[in-house]
Amino acid sequence: MSSIDLLFQRLRTAGKKAFMPFITAGDPDLDFTEAVIGELAGRGCDLFELGIPYSDPIADGPVIQASYNRALEKKIKLADILERIGKITGGTGCQPVLPAPPIVTMASYAVVYRHGLEKYVADAQAAGAAGAIVPDLPVEEAAPLAAICRKADFSLIQLITPTTPRDRAKRIAEQTTGFIYYVSITGITGERESLPPQILDDVAWLRQQTPLPVCIGFGISRPEHVRMLAPVADGLIVGSAIVRRMAEAAVKPRRQVLDEIGRFVASLRAALE
């Protein structure tokens, strides 16, 4: 079993849900990326989604796109990110800087393909990453990467959206390992005032189709969102609201920004409990 499988098994036994922050790698730099992971691990976050900057992200809104652009302007490379994951987790043989929860990379298929499918999985796993989310990989083309990931016990997390036909959703679930990423809204990432109530029925149906945990992301930024979704989700993913606060490290003292992010996440984590 992968570390993600073990995590959700442990959480289910304890009757708890997973809280998963999304963080852009390298914005404003990898030292701050590491510091945020350390801060939020200490605040009880269960796993981390680490965004690999890419010039043409498929579903990210303006906040995450801007963070990717800032990281790319500083010439952040995949090798640098994997090296830093290894430092955080101890995956490259060094002493880990903290007992970090599992880390999964969020990477465009162009990044994975250019690196090489087997090499990407091998290098990410060697660095200590537990899986990958590849948002622009259609189920019709996912079999080669899914087979590599299954052989390596490296989770391949795939997305299902409100507009995904149900027969297609079942096919996506069959190709997925670790957990299913359910997109809560039709559109791009970003903070929302409210979330559509139809999510509850859609996720309840999906959980009847697969034994995989179902985690919900996109738009979640308030305790009331968390309380709404917690009854049907195995975990919740929060991205833009955290990335927006991380951007303030360019103009505010970093310790102050870390404290602000930590308090914000703690308020959501408390709502999840």
Instruction: Out of 5, 27, 39, 49, pick the active-site residue.
Output: 49
Q: Which of 27, 34, 60, 234 is catalytic?
A: 60
> Residue 91: phi, psi to the nearest 5?
-65, -25
Is the sign of the CA dihedral 175, 181, 182, 183 positive or negative? negative
Q: Angle formed by the axes of helices 117-127 and 143-152, to 10°?
A: 30
Three-state secondary structure call for residue 21? strand
* 140 catalytic per annotation: no
How are the residues of the chain apportioned to helix, strand and coil, as percentages rounded to the nearest 5?
50, 15, 35
Let me know if 8 is exposed, middle or buried by CB neighbors in 10 A (0-12, 13-18, 19+).
Answer: buried
Q: H or E stretch including 193?
A: none
Spatial neighbors of 121 by CB under 8 A, at least 6 apart, are 132, 145, 148, 149, 152, 154
CB contact at 8 A, 77 and 120: no
* Kind plus residue range of the DSSP H or E element containing 175: helix 166-175
224 carries an active-site annotation: no
Instruction: Give the Cα separation of 209 and 171 in Å (integer).
Output: 10
Q: Rounded to whole angstroms, how far apart are CA atoms 200 and 185?
A: 12
Q: Catalytic amino acids?
A: 49, 60
